[in-house]
Amino acid sequence: MSEKPPVLEDTIVAQATPPGRGGIGVVRLSGNKVQDICQAITGSLPVPRFAAISDFRDGDRSVIDRGLVIYFPKPASFTGEHVLELHGHGGPVVMRLLLDRCVRLGARIAAPGEFTQRAFLNDKIDLSQAEAIADLIDSASKAAAKSAVRSMQGEFSNQIEKLTEKVTLLRMYVEAAIDFPEEEIDFLGDKKVQGMLKSILSEFDEVTEKATQGALLREGVSLVLAGRPNAGKSSLMNSLTGKEVSIVTDIAGTTRDIVDNYIHLDGLPLRLIDTAGLRSGSDVIEVEGVKRAHGEIRNADHVILIVDCFAYRGELAAAAEALRGEVPGEMPVTVVVNKIDLNPDWQRELDGVPEGWVPVSAKTGEGIGCLREHLKQALGFIAVEEGTFIARTRHLDALARARISVETGGRHLVEAGAGELLAEELKLCQQALGEITGIVTSDDLLGRIFSSFCIGK
Amino acid sequence: MAMMVSATNFDVIVVGGGHAGTEAALASARSGSKTLLVTQNIETLGQMSCNPAIGGIGKSHLVKEIDALGGVMALAADHSGIHFRVLNARKGPAVRATRAQADRQLYRAYIRHALENQQNLKLFQQSVDDLIIGDGRVTGVVTDTGLRFTAPAVVLTVGTFLGGIIHVGMDKQPGGRAGDPPSNRLADRLRELPFSVDRLKTGTPPRIDGNTVDFSELEEQPGDEQRPVMSYMASRDDHPRQVPCFITHTNEETHELIHSGLDRSPLYTGEIAGVGPRYCPSIEDKIVRFADKSSHQIFIEPEGLNTTELYPNGISTSLPFDVQQAFVRTIKGFENTHITRPGYAIEYDFFEPRDLKNSLETRHLPGLFFAGQINGTTGYEEAGAQGLIAGINAARLAKGEEAWSPRRNEAYMGVLVDDLITMGTREPYRMFTSRAEYRLILRQDNADRRLTEQGRELGLIDEQRWRYFCEKEEAIQRQAGVLSKTYVHPGDAAVETLLGQALNRDHSLLGLLKRPGVTVNELMNAAKLDSLREEVAEQIEIDCKYEGYIVRQQEEIDRVMAQQEMAIPDSIEYGTISGLSNEVCQKLESVRPATIGQAGRVAGVTHAAISLLLVYLKKQYLMESQGKQGTSRPLKLGR
Ligand SMILES: Cc1cc2nc3c(=O)[nH]c(=O)nc-3n(C[C@H](O)[C@H](O)[C@H](O)COP(=O)(O)OP(=O)(O)OC[C@H]3O[C@@H](n4cnc5c(N)ncnc54)[C@H](O)[C@@H]3O)c2cc1C
Ligand SMILES: Nc1nc2c(ncn2[C@@H]2O[C@H](COP(=O)(O)OP(=O)(O)OP(=O)(O)O)[C@@H](O)[C@H]2O)c(=O)[nH]1
Ligand SMILES: [Mg+2]
């Protein structure tokens, strides 16, 4: 007889609406600390299942936002645990503050699909949905992984890596001193360790400051426009954004670099990315452009493959097939058949192709409405589950915890000479950083010790 | 067959009388099972194959846990220890450790005495050549003379003996360790069974005659004045006469000589295929890998009180004998030294530990348990710990009881077993405190408080130890209560002098104890209360100083425990779980974790994979329980 899997009852929090600017933003919590957190943020616990209006307050009593609070006591809630929803005004800064506040009150950012998983484990969703939940967890965690990669792009990633390396190095000294006291490598008394602690702390501050400049981090589901030269990618970009953001000419190979722009589809924020037409050119600039296009494709949430139904008339399917081959297999795509204004036979051509291909004319605007509808369907789910914003929040939360550990550890060393407590805090620090960069196991650390010091009586 | 053995049916048979085998046999017998210990040679019961020392960082933690569960290793060390030291004395209680140099003969004698006088235990000298297998289970063993012994549970603890090959320079000989024959027939037999076998290597230094050493040249290293004890049941009075160790160093001339012999080193000519431990390299390895170090430390340890032989710790080697002799004589104090036994390396078979359950029963052959060096570990303490767990579980299996194994947050033994069965090992596995994520809880000073109660339930703890434990625990609770209820007031001269500052308000003594550098008994004296017994004071002090961390770790443990302990059924087919990637499937398949917690520790298993696993298990549960009401959970041993 199988056992019934128990549910962790700690409190999880996440943003429950598509992240983005404007509109309503909902923060949802589930778990055993919900009542306390509600008290702390709104000052009271509202009548169950009734929307109440309240200020949302930060730790220093300042008002973060004002909005609706709804409290669902267990077991009559979505997850079967106490659930709280805070409906705020949704701007990224406000959402961040609200999430931060919840984390400081003891919640942790939910893992992808975790709300639904809890609902299932708490008998709120029946057996017939088990497969769907598995799919959700699977796709949500892939989306989360992708968001995490995006949060980590550029300078942030380099700095985190440098920081992680420094912490690992320091741990190596501290752990070596503890596990090998007879090896003449006792660094704990050294000024060296204290110096390292200091420099790590200031580096934490630097990274955190840069990463908190949230404005730099653009939000939204990323949607890449890809296709052969002259297929009409830039034209479609302009048509979807309603602006002349991308240069359109009849010269094949017009777009060289990445061009991006933000739009909203009924509140769903999208980052549209126009790319160079995919072909094997010889021009150095173009080759670089194609390389960048492939990079964007890899990191995308969704790719629109644009096929020119005039240039490829009669061989539409083959053209789309070839294009599909240049995109990673697991990447969700939408095939857009462009220039239907030029090909009077386009409907006949579409007869044999798979369902879901969207015919448009970027020039006349025909079919663009359908395309928008289609994209909303296809992308809505990704946006709800996990965005770069949540990923960055998770990262900042981890950074903050990591920093506190270094500080506390340093204090133990200075005040009480307690090397083992420094070691403990550094371990916690590294665990927190590991949530961003991947785990450093005790075996990894021992490996570093053995290759750096000659250990062994 | 001329030979007669009074009985041939047992509950548990233990093969091998090393450190794993003796603890296994004692634990099994103590818990009431009729036990047979078969070993090659009764004279070598409890033999230390390598250095004559018990304990050390991470290792004394294991020894004290063995002791807390009624094992023999700590007591043997106390009765044979001729030099005791506390390591990391100034680094905080969690990482403090005890190390004892032992007199080999006294150690062996103590172990043998304990074995011979253990109820329910019979000793038998012979080599085991084969296992009896019936119905897909092990049902007994066959010795080299064809004697058959049967039991529903067999514990194999044959150390470095399986296919053992001893290397000295380019010369190689079969051997289980110097002076003992290898177990080749058993090794061949085991290779026919569905176990996954590989080779490891370890080495030992040459021994030298103390009469030929110039001690006046050497730095003396005395034992601690405040001599520590290993066992919770021992006192300093149990220790024999104490002697010092000495320290010397290699030099550039030594290194040159070693370099010149590398072309005849089995390590560097590829003769040795087995992987050796990185933390215990041979001297030739140290010199090659850390070429910029011009000198290496050597600890000179006495082999015993009644012998002049010395153990030079730090120059383990498998170089040819002539090179050994030459380089040893370049070392300060060793100029005229005579080598009594050459150093050597040994290669041996070990079994993939990921094929074991946490009871140390093999997954491939029910009833058969593996413990000690054959699971890829090294060290007496690591072997003893596994022996104890295997012995307990062999006895439990024979009685039809559920398996028992301590968790990672309860004991280093738990860390050891879980690491082995979850991660496996590529080099001989040794314990380090950095392997334990709950290091502040798993201390050598509180092993009894972590384990003795469970040991009592397991039937391993005798009356005397139990009474002693209960009294100590009761005293700790009572005195901690006194400290928390006793308040001192501003103006209390004695207390303010002790603290070096004035009190600004009333404080409980327990509150003041949190301050760095304040000790219980100083406080008690200042408050005019009676001093506490050493071991009671120690516990109160440590509990108080680590309180914040212990509470946090305990919360963390409590938070995840229910889910971590969730059993994964043996029958699970990972391939059928939707969403799991092939890669994760393979990893889970090769370890076949017993719990969700263990699954999460398998390298490469993601958070999402664990979520999927939980959803799958819930689905199984729902499918099975549809129609059925109120399932009863199997009772777990009280924790
Ligand atoms: C050369 C050498 C160097 C070492 N160096 C180190 C070191 O530097 N550091 C360290 O921590 N550890 C070292 N060790 C390892 C340490 O000795 C072992 O880890 C420890 O002894 C293992 O205990 P065990 O009980 O598993 O096996 P062992 O102590 O090897 O005991 C095995 C027992 O099984 C018996 N036996 C074998 N085959 C049979 C059979 N077929 N039938 C019946 N009985 C059998 C043997 O007689 C022996 O009593 C070294 C060992 C050797 C040999
Ligand atoms: N008739 C018609 N012409 C179109 C349509 N879409 C694009 N074009 C034309 O096709 C040519 C190429 O369009 P672009 O949008 O620059 O194509 P592109 O895919 O961005 O091309 P590169 O950047 O060069 O790879 C231009 O002359 C557009 O005016 C369409 O739907 N109908
Ligand atoms: Mg273009």
Region A381-397 average pLDDT: 65
Evaluate if residue B385 carries a pLDDT over 50: yes
- Which of A183, A425, A454 should one mutate to test binding to chain B, selecting the residue with the greatest count of B CBs within 10 A? A454
Q: Residue A446 CB: number of other CB atoms within 10 A? A: 21
Inter-chain contact B615–A114, Cβ cutoff 8 Å?
no
d(CA B130, CA B152): 15
Contact A134 B615 (CB under 8 A): yes
Say yes or no: CB of residue B127 within 6 Å of ligand 1.
Answer: yes
What is the predicted pLDDT for the residue at A268?
Answer: 65
**How large is the average pLDDT for residues A224-230?**
95
Q: Which residues pair with B75 in a beta bridge?
A: none
Coil, helix or strand for B85? Answer: strand
Using CA atoms, how far apart are residues B183 and A93, in angstroms rounded to an integer? 70
Lowest mean pLDDT among B113-122, B435-444, B609-618: B609-618
pLDDT, tens digit, 9 for 90 and up, residues B623-632: 887 655 444 3
Going from the N-terminus, what domains does chain A have, and what CATH number goes with each?
12-124 (3.30.1360.120), 142-216+389-437 (1.20.120.430), 221-300+302-378 (3.40.50.300)
What ligand is nearest to the CA atom of residue A259? 3
Query: How many residues are there in chain B?
Result: 639
In this structure, are residues A99 and A393 in contact, taking their beta carbons and an 8 Å threshold? yes
Q: Please report the pLDDT score of residue B639 as a whole number.
A: 34
Q: Which residues contact B466 (CB under 8 A, 6 or more apart)?
A: B452, B456
Greatest alpha-carbon pair distance for chain B in Å reads 87
- Tokens coding B622: 């729902």
Chain A residues closer than 8 Å to B310 by CB:
none
A61-106 tens-digit pLDDT: 888 888 999 999 988 888 899 999 998 876 667 787 888 899 889 9
ipTM of this predicted complex?
Answer: 0.86
**C-alpha A36: how far from chain center:** 28
Residue B82's pLDDT is what?
A: 97
Comparing A100 with B204, the larger pLDDT belongs to B204
* Ligand 3 centroid from CA A322, angstroms: 19
Alpha-carbon distance of A375 to A389, in angstroms, equals 21
Which residue, judged by its Cα, is nearest atom 9 of ligand 2? A232
Number of C-beta neighbours around residue A311 at 10 A: 18
Cβ-nearest to B516 among A121, A415, A442: A415
Q: Which residues of A touch B289 (CB under 8 A)?
A: 454
Mean pLDDT throughout A179-198?
Answer: 81
- Name the percent of chain B lying above pLDDT 70: 97
- pLDDT band with cut points at 50, 70 and 90 for residue B635: very low
pLDDT attached to residue B468: 96
The closest residue, in CA terms, to atom 24 on ligand 1 is B159
- A141 and A113 Cβ atoms separated by less than 8 Å: yes
Q: Which pLDDT belongs to residue A385?
A: 46
CB contact (8 A) between residue A454 and residue B290: yes
Q: Which of the four pLDDT bands, split at 50, 70 and 90, describes residue A21?
A: very low
In B500-581, alpha helices (H): 509-513, 520-526, 534-545, 547-564
CB–CB of A179 and B58 under 8 A? yes
- Taking only the tens place, the pLDDT of each residue in A268-316 is 667 899 999 999 877 888 899 999 999 999 888 889 999 999 999 888 8
What's the 3-state SS for B339-377? Answer: EEECCEEEEEEEECHHHECCCCEECCCCCEEECCHHHCE
Residue owning the nearest CA to atom 17 of ligand 1: B49
Q: What's the per-residue H, E or C state across B224-292? A: CCCCCCCCCCCCHHHCCCCCCEEEEECCHHHHHHHHHCHHHCCCCCCCCCCECCCCCCCHHHHHHHCCC
Q: Is the pLDDT of residue B5 over 70?
A: no
Contact B608 A117 (CB under 8 A): no
Distance CA B551, CA B543 (A): 10
Alpha-carbon distance A97 to A91, whole Å? 10
Residue A403, pLDDT > 90, answer yes
Return the number of other C-beta atoms located less than 10 Å from residue B237's C-beta. Answer: 7
What are the beta bridge partners of residue A15?
A27
Token representation of residue B467: 């009474």
Predicted pLDDT of residue B556: 84
Closest ligand 1 atom to residue B185 Cα is 41
Atom of ligand 1 nearest to the CA of B158: 34
Note if the bond before A46 is cis, omega within 30 degrees. no
* Alpha-carbon gap, residue A231 to A234, rounded angstroms: 9
Mutate to test the pocket of ligand 1, among B99, B129, B158, B166 (most ligand atoms within 8 A of CB): B158
Residue A330 Cα to ligand 2 midpoint, Å, equals 28
pLDDT in tens, A357-384: 999 999 999 999 999 888 877 775 554 4
pLDDT at B552: 87
Question: Which of B50, B360, B432 most suits a substitution to test ligand 1, by most atoms within 8 Å of the C-beta?
Answer: B50
Distance CA A166, CA A163 (A): 5
Q: Does A330 touch chain B (CB under 8 A)?
A: no
Residue A122: pLDDT band with limits 50, 70, 90: confident
Contact (CB<8Å) B278/A120? no
Cα dihedral sign, B417-B419-B422-B427: negative
For residue A29, what pLDDT band results from cuts at 50, 70 and 90?
very high
The model's pLDDT over B66-75, given as tens digits with 9 standing for 90+, comes to: 999 999 999 9
pLDDT of residue B183: 95
Strands B165-168 and B297-302: unpaired
pLDDT greater at residue A76 or residue B149: B149
A448 vs B contacts (CB less than 8 Å): none
Distance from CA of B628 to the nearest CA of A (A): 11
Q: Smallest Cα–Cα separation from B349: which of B163, B157, B172?
A: B163
Pairwise CB contact (< 8 Å): A117 & B566: no
Instruction: Calculate how close chain B gets to A3, using CA atoms only, in Å.
Output: 6
Between positions 316 and 355 of B, the ones with CB within 8 A of A are 316
In this complex, is the C-beta atom of A355 within 8 Å of any C-beta atom belonging to chain B? no
Nearest ligand 1 atom to the CA of B430 is: 11
Taking the C-alpha atoms of residue A383 and residue A389, their distance in angstroms, rounded to an integer, is 10
CB–CB contacts below 8 A, A to B: 171
Q: Give the lowest-confidence range in A199-213, B82-96, B368-382.
A: A199-213
Burial A271-294 (b: 16+ CB within 10 A, else e): bbbbbbbbeebeeeebeebbebbb
Question: How many Å apart are CA B430 and CA B437, to the nearest integer?
Answer: 16
Question: In this predicted structure, what is the pLDDT of residue A85?
Answer: 92
Q: CB-based contact (8 Å) between B432 and chain A?
A: yes
- The reply to whether B468 touches chain A by the CB within 8 Å rule is no
Determine the residue type at B590.
S
Helices B534-545 and B547-564 cross at an angle (nearest 10°) of 80
Counting beta carbons within 10 angstroms of the beta carbon of residue B150, is it exposed (0 to 12), middle (13 to 18) or buried (19 or more)?
Answer: middle
Pair A379, A223: CB distance under 8 Å:
yes
Over residues A227-234, the mean pLDDT reads 95
Contact status of A10 with chain B (Cβ, < 8 Å) = yes
Residue A320 C-alpha from the chain's centroid: 30
Q: Which long-range contacts (CB under 8 A, 24 or more apart) does B635-638 make?
A: B636/B402, B637/B402, B637/B404, B637/B454, B637/B457, B637/B458, B638/B454, B638/B457
Residue B565, Cα to own-chain centre: how many angstroms? 24
Task: Give the pLDDT confidence of B41-81 residue by residue, as tens digits.
Answer: 999 999 998 899 999 999 999 999 999 999 999 999 999 99
Rounded to an integer, what is the distance from CA A93 to the centroid of its chain?
16
Q: Cα–Cα distance between A84 and A81 in angstroms, integer?
A: 10
Q: Tell me the chain B residues in contact with residue A114 when contact means C-beta distances shorter than 8 Å.
A: 611
| SS3 (DSSP) at B569 | coil
Q: Give the one of A121, A178, A443 whose C-beta lies nearest to B88's C-beta.
A: A178
For residue A455, give the chain B residue with the closest CA.
Answer: B279
Lowest-pLDDT choice from A26-40, A258-272, B387-401: A258-272
Mean pLDDT of A320-330: 91
Q: Which of B198, B243, B534, B144 is nearest to B374 (CA)?
A: B198
- Element counts in chain A: helices (H) and strands (E): 14, 12
Examine the pLDDT at A204 and tell me if it is beyond 80: yes
Res A132: pLDDT: 75
Phi then psi for residue B137, to 5 deg, are: -125, 165
Instruction: Search chain A and give the residue with CA nearest B633.
Output: A3
| pLDDT classification of A266: cutoffs 50, 70, 90 | low
* Contact partners, residue A198, CB within 8 Å, separation at least 6: A410
Model confidence at B636, pLDDT cuts 50, 70, 90, reads very low
What is the distance between the alpha carbons of residues B507 and B376, in angstroms, rounded to a whole number?
53
Looking at residue A356, its pLDDT comes to: 80
DSSP string, B25-39: HHHHHHTT--EEEEE
Which of A224, A225, A228, A234 gets mutated to test ligand 2 (max ligand atoms within 8 A of its CB)? Answer: A234
Closest-lying ligand 2 atom to the alpha carbon of residue A247 = 16
Which atom of ligand 1 lies closest to the CA of B180?
47
Q: Which residue has the higher pLDDT, A41 or A390?
A: A41
Asked if the C-beta of B433 comes within 8 angstroms of chain A's C-beta atoms, the answer is: yes
**Is the pLDDT at A214 greater than 50, yes or no?**
no
Helix, coil or strand: residue B477? helix
- Helix (H) or strand (E) holding A294, with range, is helix A284-299
Strands B339-341 and B207-209: antiparallel
> Which of A168, A171, A191, A167 has the alpha carbon at shortest distance from A179?
A171
pLDDT in the model for residue A255:
92
What is the maximum alpha-carbon separation in chain A? Answer: 86
Q: How many CA atoms lie within 13 A of B16 on its CB side?
A: 31
- Average pLDDT over all residues of chain B: 92
- Looking at residue A135, what is its pLDDT? 77
Query: Which of B423, B432, B559 is opposite residue A8, by nearest beta carbon?
Result: B559
Tokens of residue B399, six digits: 């009685």
